[in-house]
Amino acid sequence: ASRFLARILFKNESHRKLITNNNFLVAHANILTRKTVFDRNRKRTIASNLRTICTIIERMIHLKPEIHLPHKCAFGSNYKIFVRAVREISKDKPSIVDQYALMFKRFVETVEVELLGETDENPEENSKPASSWLAQYGKRFSFELGKTSRKEYRRRKFDTHRKAPTTSDVRKLNNYIVEMVEKSVEDIGQNLNVKAKCPS
């Protein structure tokens, strides 16, 4: 898996350094290589996942420089920084929030497993920071990010000014015109009947 990972070219040098210098990111990258064995676009899928995770990590470290190490972004104490980072990254593309957050959540799960295996004495205590992040994600994500992003996406979708009417718009207009014509014909017919009955 590591040899395969080494063949993936990362255009962003800072991303490459992050991945190769952090055991947790390497472990996650290796998991991705195993999970995508039958994926036709294997290299692209792995690179896209890692690029997204690295982008979130870099933004989190920018917002809170004392984080220092990439895997500490997966700690519960930094969950709020994660929320801020994802909000900023997806500001112009609210529809990608769920996708980006899920990729990062899978990285946090890798960190949790790796921390569990680091020690034989009280492994649950060792993995507690990552477990705390996952617990907060499970309870708060849909409210803090998911719901907000979907609402913003719907708002933008319906606020978009279209240059040309859509098929459904034309159909609605056509139905309205037909309805108004039928009503007008009916009204004219009733008026003619009333006039015919009136004595001259």
Domain-by-domain residue ranges, the chain? 2-159, 165-200
Tens of pLDDT along 61-92? 999 999 988 999 999 999 999 999 998 888 76
1 has pLDDT over 60: no
pTM of the model: 0.68
Nearest in space to 9 (alpha carbons), one of 47, 51, 53, 54:
47
Nearest in space to 111 (alpha carbons), one of 79, 89, 133, 84:
133
Report the Cα 82 to chain-centroid distance in Å. 13
Phi-psi region of 20 (alpha: psi -120 to 50; beta: other; left: phi over 0): alpha
More confident: 168 or 198: 168
Q: DSSP class of residue 166? A: -
Mean pLDDT for all residues in the chain: 81
Nearest in space to 97 (alpha carbons), one of 50, 51, 134, 151:
151
Summarize the confidence of residues 136-160 as an average pLDDT: 67
CA angle 11, 52, 113 (to 5 degrees): 115
36 has pLDDT over 90: no
Residue with the two structure tokens 């350094």: 17
What is the rounded CA–CA span in Å between residue 64 and residue 135? 21
Dihedral angle over CA of 27, 28, 30, 36, nearest 10: 170
Percent of the chain with pLDDT over 70: 76
More confident: 152 or 36: 36
Q: How confident is the model at residue 133 (pLDDT cuts 50, 70, 90)?
A: very high
Residue with the two structure tokens 């240059």: 163
Summarize the confidence of residues 149-173 as an average pLDDT: 67
Q: DSSP class of residue 121? A: S
